Copies of this chain bind each other. A is one copy, B any other.
Amino acid sequence: MRFQDVISINDFRKEDIDYVLRVAERLEEELKKEGTLKYAKGKVLATLFFEPSTRTRLSFESAMHRLGGAVIGFAEASSTSVKKGESLMDTIRTVENYADVIVIRHPREGAARLAAEVARVPVINAGDGANQHPTQTLLDLYTIKKEFGKIDGLDIALLGDLKYGRTVHSLAKALSYYNVRLYFVAPKGLEMPRHIVEEISNKVEIVETSDLEAVIPKVDVLYVTRIQKERFPDPAEYNKIKGSYKVDLKVLEKAKDTLKVMHPLPRVDEIAYEVDNTKYSAYFRQVWSGIPVRMALLGILLGVIK
């Protein structure tokens, strides 16, 4: 990889992504054979979570342990020097003395980029505000590749709040590197932002629609995200839409046999529990993908994996 930090999926060329996915695959195999690995033995990861995100934090910490390394950090900002008025820059220039790599989650957009500019050690962005969460995108791609053996040639629907959901923005951009057809399925008012559609529409075929039913039979992947109640001025409107976008067995009746349903989690009720144990459900295997992908990123940035 040509860079030292993982801040935004926009920094990744296609070959960077493919490289991470290949390393992740290799590590997953080694993990299965040997149990915990030793690449990061003696290395320390600092997880600086200025806002809580338990699943992301635990995923990184598990990945670091599986690589043989150690972890320090904090799970929320309440107990940090930030309260004493310290700048993020000073916090980073302190912590870089304690750790070999930093994972940062911060409510402020741009915080991860700033941290990376300041730090001598590599920095991984685990979410900064509504902005970027690049490791989620990479694990999404990894999941698709594992489920189908490839990404090229697939029909992929992104469903839900496509306007505000940062996950789907990053994923759409990353998928545009591949030979795929994208379906953007959103209720009115929550469509994918124009600037993203324009940015990628010359690279991939895009179908925009609000009609989930019509899309279902056509796609290989249905990527579901939350539709947040607070986005709707009228609760009645929300309830109507919520109903028609809930993925349950009935909705999946006309799906291809090989359809895979994905979700970045946590879900609230976008996917009915009855889907969990069907052949369609891939969202818990998607959680697992976070381990090899984050192991790959940690290992590459630490310079212990070539």
Flag whether A93 is at the interface (Cβ < 8 A).
yes
Q: Which of A19-27, A152-160, A205-213, A284-292 forms part of the interface with chain B? A: A284-292
Asked if residues A44 and B65 are in contact (CB atoms below 8 Å), the reply is yes
Flag whether A243 is at the interface (Cβ < 8 A).
no
Known contacts being A79-B54, A86-B266, A86-B268, is A93 close to B44, with CB within 8 Å? no
Asked if residues A52 and B35 are in contact (CB atoms below 8 Å), the reply is no
Flag whether A233 is at the interface (Cβ < 8 A).
no
Chain B residues with CB below 8 A from A97, complex form: 59, 284, 287-288, 290-291
Chain B residues with CB below 8 A from A266, complex form: 81, 84-86, 90-91, 94
Chain B residues with CB below 8 A from A36, complex form: 41-43
Q: Count of chain A residues with Cβ under 8 Å from any Cβ of B?
A: 51
Partner of A72, one of B41, B46, B52, B58: B58
Flag whether A114 is at the interface (Cβ < 8 A).
no
Chain B residues with CB below 8 A from A86, complex form: 265-268
Within 8 A of B (CB), among A253-268: 265-268
Asked if residues B70 and A46 are in contact (CB atoms below 8 Å), the reply is no
Asked if residues B72 and A62 are in contact (CB atoms below 8 Å), the reply is yes
Complex CA–CA separation, A222 to B73 (angstroms): 31
Flag whether A5 is at the interface (Cβ < 8 A).
no
Complex CA–CA separation, A231 to B74 (angstroms): 31
Q: What is the oligomeric copy number?
A: 3
- A51 (CB) vs chain B CBs: closest residue: B79
Asked if residues A59 and B287 are in contact (CB atoms below 8 Å), the reply is no
Flag whether A78 is at the interface (Cβ < 8 A).
yes
Flag whether A128 is at the interface (Cβ < 8 A).
no
Complex CA–CA separation, A60 to B86 (angstroms): 20
Known contacts being A75-B79, A86-B268, is A98 close to B59, with CB within 8 Å? yes
Chain B residues with CB below 8 A from A268, complex form: 84-86
- A269 (CB) vs chain B CBs: closest residue: B85
Q: Mark A33-71, 1 if CB is under 8 A from B, else 0.
A: 001100001111010010010110011011001100011
Chain B residues with CB below 8 A from A287, complex form: 93-94, 97
Known: A89-B273, A94-B284. 17 other contacts (CB 8 A): A35-B42, A35-B43, A42-B66, A44-B66, A46-B62, A52-B79, A54-B81, A58-B95, A62-B98, A65-B72, A75-B79, A84-B268, A85-B268, A86-B268, A90-B266, A91-B266, A94-B265
